[in-house]
Amino acid sequence: MRKDAGTLRDLQLALQLKIEELRQRDALIDELELELDTKDDLIRQLQVELDRHRSASQHAASSADAASTGESRTKRQAISAEPTALDPSQLTDVTLTSYCKTKESRELIQRALMDNDFMKHLEHGQILTIMDCMYPTSLAKGCCVIQEGDDGSTVYVLEEGQVEVTKQGKKLCSIGPGKVFGELAILYNCTRTATVTALTDIKLWAIDRQGFQTIMMRTGLIKHSQYTDFLRSVPSFQSLPEDVLSKLADVLEETHYTDGDYIIRQGATGDTFFIISEGQVRNDDNSDKQVKTLTKGDWFGEQALKG
């Protein structure tokens, strides 16, 4: 009898623990659903912005095609989705300042940028330049870093401390060291979508929209010139007119592979044409057992362009 009573108490305790566990899971699900709703709103807002800029880009492209062929082509100015207020001729007037950082700080900023969904698609050189130009700032516990509804112009990387993200007074999440926040302020001309408050004393690295856009424009123009020069050095492209080379340079995407990586596998569906800008590629043709080594200026995958 005593044994049965003990077993009953154990079962009741286990049931209470399960109920509490379920309650905690329900609370977590509610929090995640709120976060998903917030992200859905953000995605819709970004889609509207993307459609607007895409429409503007198509209109600009149509105008350029209709212009005289004797006029020089306007080069792409920025990777940012927001139309930049800077003119390429003003690039030399904007001074970019580098700030000293420890090796640990540099590595933390670089990892944070490369882990961020919006920043990780930038080229490696752009990420390094952004990291160099980020300046330090510190705030005390309780200070507001970002206020929902305000116009934003700065993106932050948190190095020390903790911050809390809220929307309309409801907590969304907490952010620790090594994370980027506020990035929409430099990518899109929109108001802050949430409030960020320091839970502890914090140390941040920051860069404003003008600095970010200047980096994007300078690196974009330099890269376009490098791509055009590179295409001009490829024998098969030397007969192409300058405007065609410039358009090809616009759509080139730089991709990195490490030693031993497979770029194309025989039999796989191909949809990409490759030109080697650095390094060597081994081409194994199983049909005739030939092995060829391709180097800078060589290309492969051209059949993909023919469907």
Q: Please give the full DSSP string across 156-212, using - where no structure is assigned.
A: EEEEES-EEEEETTEEEEEE-TTEEE-THHHHSS-B-SSEEEESS-EEEEEEEHHHH
Question: Is 302 part of any known ligand binding site?
Answer: yes
CB-CB contact of 80 with 119 (8 Å): no
Beta carbons within 10 angstroms of residue 133's beta carbon: 19
182 vs 109: CA distance, rounded Å: 14
Q: What is the CA radius of gyration of the chain?
A: 26
Whole-number pLDDT of residue 112: 94
Q: What is the largest CA-CA distance in the chain?
A: 102
Inter-axis angle of helices 124-133 and 209-233, to 10 degrees?
Answer: 150
Q: Torsion over CA of 21, 198, 119 and 95, rounded to 10 degrees?
A: 180
Whole-number pLDDT of residue 286: 60
Whole-number pLDDT of residue 158: 96
The structure tokens 């929409």 sit at: 184
Per-residue pLDDT of the chain (307 residues; tens, 9 = 90+): 555 555 666 676 767 777 767 777 777 777 677 777 777 767 776 776 666 666 555 544 444 443 333 333 333 333 334 444 445 555 555 678 899 999 999 999 999 999 988 888 787 888 999 999 999 999 999 999 999 988 888 999 999 999 999 999 899 999 999 999 988 877 776 788 899 999 999 999 999 888 888 888 887 777 778 788 888 877 777 888 888 888 888 788 878 888 888 888 877 777 888 888 888 998 876 655 667 888 887 888 777 666 5
Q: Domains in the chain and their CATH numbers?
A: 63-73+82-254 (2.60.120.10), 268-307 (no CATH)
Question: Is 192 part of any known ligand binding site?
Answer: yes
Whole-number pLDDT of residue 69: 36
